[in-house]
A and B are shown apart, each in its own frame.
Chain A
Amino acid sequence: GNSVTQMEGPVTLSEEAFLTINCTYTATGYPSLFWYVQYPGEGLQLLLKATKADDKGSNKGFEATYRKETTSFHLEKGSVQVSDSAVYFCALILTGGFKTIFGAGTRLFVKA
């Protein structure tokens, strides 16, 4: 079936370290791909998205590239800050679909 798999957390980094959170998906067709972020006590916010192969989504220093050949959408940031501490969800919407399929979430802790 259709699904999203992301790396288990928690991920703990020091400030200014490089971040990668891996995400792979299983889906028919060409889904749209998303990264959401959830700060403590809040709902989810869209961080970035990509709607077709080789698209790169970017926002607030975060980037992810839609790789059709490896069915991946890994999240990266060159230099994390304490304020990036949150839970990150990879997600997809199937072509012609509307429901979002979420990964299990990865918690990120950034130490000063």
Chain B
Amino acid sequence: EADIYQTPRYLVIGTGKKITLECSQTMGHDKMYWYQQDPGMELHLIHYSYGVNSTEKGDLSSESTVSRIRTEHFPLTLESARPSHTSQYLCASSDRQGFSSMNTEAFFGQGTRLTVV
């Protein structure tokens, strides 16, 4: 089983509130990712990180921000939540396979379902 954890699992919050979604992994993986999953199931990469102090924007523009101060921790923050932010947010991590140039598959957390009312 993958050792990547997201909290909270479910969050209902009012418009304008600041929220932080937590993601932690105990596998020592250097790369971490945040995906937003729409009701139609499609996954959209919104942020990723190569390692400590690295953060990059993904393929889908997002008003959220991320930080990577420690290898194991990759929190996502929304400064002012809006109903349009209602979605499922999935965190994942991956790493290089030994000394090869190949990367492992992504390991996913269980997700946070965010509802902004």
Contacts and interface: CB of A to CB of B under 8 A. Distances in A.
Interface in B94-117: 94, 96, 101-103, 105-111, 113
B74 interface: no
A5 interface: no
A2 to B, nearest CB: 12
Contacts of A44: 90, 92, 106, 108
B45 A99 contact: yes
Contacts of A61: none
A34 B109 CA distance: 17
Interface residues of B, number: 25
B110 A43 contact: yes
Contacts, number: 56
Contacts of A51: 102
B34 interface: no
A49 B107 CA distance: 13
A65 B43 CA distance: 24
A79 interface: no
A8 to B, nearest CB: 11
Given A98-B96, A99-B48, 9 more contacts: A42-B111, A43-B6, A43-B90, A43-B92, A44-B106, A45-B108, A97-B103, A99-B33, A100-B105
